[in-house]
Chains A and B, each alone.
Chain A
Amino acid sequence: MVIRTLALTLVSGAALLAAPTKIGFVYVSPVGDAGWTFQHDQGRKEMEKALDGQVVTEVVENVPEGADAERVIRQLATDGCKAVFTTSFGYMNPTLKVAPNFPDVDFFHATGYKTAKNVGIYNARFYEGRYLCGVVAGKMTKTHVAGYVAAFPIPEVMMGIDAFTLGMRSVDPQAKVRVIWVNSWFDPGKEREACLTLISNGADVVTHHTDSTAVVQAVEEQHKAGKAVWSCSYHSDMSKYGPTSQLTGTTHVWGDFYTRTVKEVIAGKHPQVNIWGGFKEGMIKLAPFNKAVPADVQKMVMGIEAQMKAGKFSPFQGPVTAQDGTVKVAKGQLMADADIDAINYYVQGVDSPQPKQ
């Protein structure tokens, strides 16, 4: 009798241990094959591969921010997910609303700033990649004008523009960056028009902070027609769409972070996550260089990347001067994380009127 109970307990205990942990993912847009959500999905797949058999993931894509998001997050938690990753800023309040009802579930919110007992936040220092793209742009430009197709004037986008400009000006002091705001994260038609407008206004390197491959494609088209224009991609390596004209790009790497975090969740550790990682933490990676980028430029860029990895260099280390002349960071000083997170100004070198917020 005792032996039977013991055996049953052992078997059921083993069964519980062996049952894969459910992990939920909420995406704001379709996965597609490049862009913000695609990179998160790549990370999820890497995590699944690394933790083969221990996890099973539940993914809901194309979830609008707001009431729908709350419903989906709640659904995932009710379905038995031990962790839920919500991958858009607009999911912040829905996540915080659902979290108290599920104290055993770990929630992780990307690009947010509010935390709770079981809500962690994670983000990546995209601006580090932007700086390096700016350096490459500065070395490759002949007209000393770069174009930037941007979505909304929020700090995340502004810091990218500023980092790119700082990088470009560090190797080309007369460089100018012109920005067009399309006021949409995703609108291939508008992005293409904005890109072509920038090119016809003299830009010969164009980058973007939008979610489609339209900018890279438009530049490739112009490049093939004989115009000496280049692009730097964002979110993903879009060289498939710009094989001859994409110089490099800033890609997001979430796989390592997801694997680390989910491992702790499986072990029942309820990790308190508040991470803003860059090259150092492996959360940002540069896309492969175009063949046209000279070897010495590549070496220089890799050198700066190594410095960032070692924590010895930050794109926002002094001196940093705003477009209107005020000195934001003195020489030898470092900009605090909280200040980087609140950037709402252009630095000198951006040749467009500052957007009001």
Chain B
Amino acid sequence: MLNFISSILFATIVAGTPLIIVGLGELVTEKAGVLNLGAEGVMSVGAIAAFAAANFTHNPYLGILAGMAAGMIMSLLFAIAALTLMANQVACGLALSIFGVGLAAFVGKPYESVALDSVPPISLPLLHRIPVLGHALFEQQALVYFSWVLLAGVAWFLYRTKPGLVLRAVGEGPVSAHSIGYGVVAIRYQAVLFGGAMAGIGGAFLSVFYTPMWVEGMVAGRGWIAIALVVFATWRPLRVMIGAYLFGGCMIAQMFVQGSGVRLNVPSQWLSALPYLATIVVLVAISHNRSTIRLHSPASLGQPFLPDA
């Protein structure tokens, strides 16, 4: 029974990690007022870049770096279109996601039959001996630990540092921030690049660590789920993590239920829909306070910034 719980926790954390990384990157981007819907495409490009690099160098961690770089380049395209040329952010983001998925498929053709060696998890020295939680929490991949550090880092940056305050100010009132003298466009560029880097890392996790293979379409909608998570978590970092683990947890739990032979009279389609439903319901329930929502949602989200308007 305890083994059971440990396995479910382990799988939940693995399933939730790419959502956390991409979600936190998207959160920082949106806090600065930029709505980047291209996460799916950036993840795909990050995934193939990481896979190709890991295959070439036989080092999965160099793959992560390559994925991050590829993600930043893709989001740079978005930034130029949406911030400098001031095209509609939603349209640019959608175009980026479609472009990214297609580009990754095209570049990835020669890699479709390549299999990478799976990366052994990293066990933290003493912590992994703890009875149930040890295996689930402390025998994970490096990127899992990174996701926790990222959560702490993003929360601390946004709410406890001056640059974070400036970023949030840019997202709330870009005109005021501009009149005080902060470079709104420059700050937004950095936020978008950060979001792209995180999406690239998220994609790298999928193709190098999660299922060490590359096939067209393997991101399978996780970029969109991460974007939705940010909104349902009302732009609060810790809730993004809660939502990600809740989503992953429901998905894993329903598989465990199906695979254990327990007789449930629920159609499997309901069980498949459960993660999405549960995440929406729980996040909406814990974030239903209207004024708190308004407090945390960036006021200028999606609106282009014209300095002289």
Contacts and interface: CB of A to CB of B under 8 A. Distances in A.
Contacts of A221: 118
Interface string A45-79: 00000000000000000100000000000000000
Interface in A190-213: 190, 192-194, 196-198, 200-201, 203, 212-213
A172 to B, nearest CB: 17
Given A182-B272, A201-B259, A192 B211 contact: yes
A355 B272 CA distance: 12
B131 interface: no
4 nearest A-B pairs in the assembled complex, by CB-CB distance: A181-B268, A33-B113, A183-B272, A356-B267
A353 B263 contact: yes
A201 B260 contact: yes
Contacts of A218: 211
B112 A180 contact: no
A21 interface: no
> Which of the four size classes fits the interface of chain B?
35 or more
A194 B251 CA distance: 10
B108 to A, nearest CB: 10
A39 to B, nearest CB: 14
A258 interface: no
Contacts of A196: 11
Contact of B7 (A184, A194, A200): A200
A174 to B, nearest CB: 14
A256 interface: no
Interface string B15-35: 100000000000000000000
A147 B258 CA distance: 11
A154 to B, nearest CB: 12
A284 to B, nearest CB: 23
Contacts of B259: 147, 178, 180, 194, 197-198, 201, 203, 352
Nearest to B113: A33
B215 A188 contact: yes
8 contacts: A178-B261, A188-B213, A188-B215, A189-B210, A192-B211, A200-B7, A201-B261, A241-B213
A196 B105 CA distance: 27
B268 A188 contact: no
B223 to A, nearest CB: 13
A62 B218 CA distance: 14
A353 B251 contact: no
Interface in A308-357: 351-353, 355-356
A240 interface: yes
Interface string A214-226: 1001100100000
A215 to B, nearest CB: 10
Nearest to A33: B113
Nearest to B221: A187
Contact of B267 (A186, A217, A241, A355): A355
Contact of B252 (A33, A187, A197, A213): A197
A32 B251 CA distance: 27
A214 B213 contact: yes
Given A197-B252, A214-B211, A352-B258, 16 more contacts: A178-B258, A178-B259, A180-B258, A181-B268, A183-B272, A189-B211, A190-B255, A193-B252, A194-B255, A197-B11, A197-B255, A197-B256, A200-B3, A217-B211, A221-B118, A240-B113
Contacts of B268: 153, 181, 183, 355
B267 A351 contact: no
Contacts of A40: none
B220 interface: yes
A179 B263 CA distance: 12
B2 interface: no
Contacts of B252: 193, 197
B86 interface: no
A188 B267 CA distance: 22
Contacts of A30: 105, 215-217
A245 to B, nearest CB: 13
Interface string B258-294: 1111111101110110000000000000000000000
Contact of B112 (A33, A192, A197, A355): A33
Contacts of A181: 258, 268-269, 271-272
Interface in B1-54: 3-4, 7, 11, 15
B217 A186 contact: yes
Contacts of B7: 197, 200
B17 to A, nearest CB: 12
Q: Kindly name the residue among A176, A188, A351 whose own CB sees the greatest number of chain B CB atoms within 10 A.
A: A188
A200 B252 CA distance: 12
B255 A217 contact: no
A179 B258 contact: yes
Contacts of B256: 197, 201
Contacts of A217: 115, 211-213
Nearest to B15: A193
Contacts of A182: 255, 272
Given A32-B215, A353-B264, A356-B267, A189 B220 contact: yes
B113 A183 contact: no
Nearest to A32: B112
Given A182-B272, A197-B256, A192 B210 contact: yes
Given A183-B268, A193-B252, A201-B256, A32 B216 contact: yes
B261 A351 contact: yes
Contact of A193 (B255, B260, B262, B263): B255
A131 to B, nearest CB: 22
B11 A193 contact: yes
Nearest to A220: B115
A193 B210 CA distance: 10
A353 B270 CA distance: 14
A353 B265 contact: yes
A351 B222 CA distance: 31
B252 to A, nearest CB: 6
B206 interface: yes
Contacts of B261: 176, 178, 201, 351-352
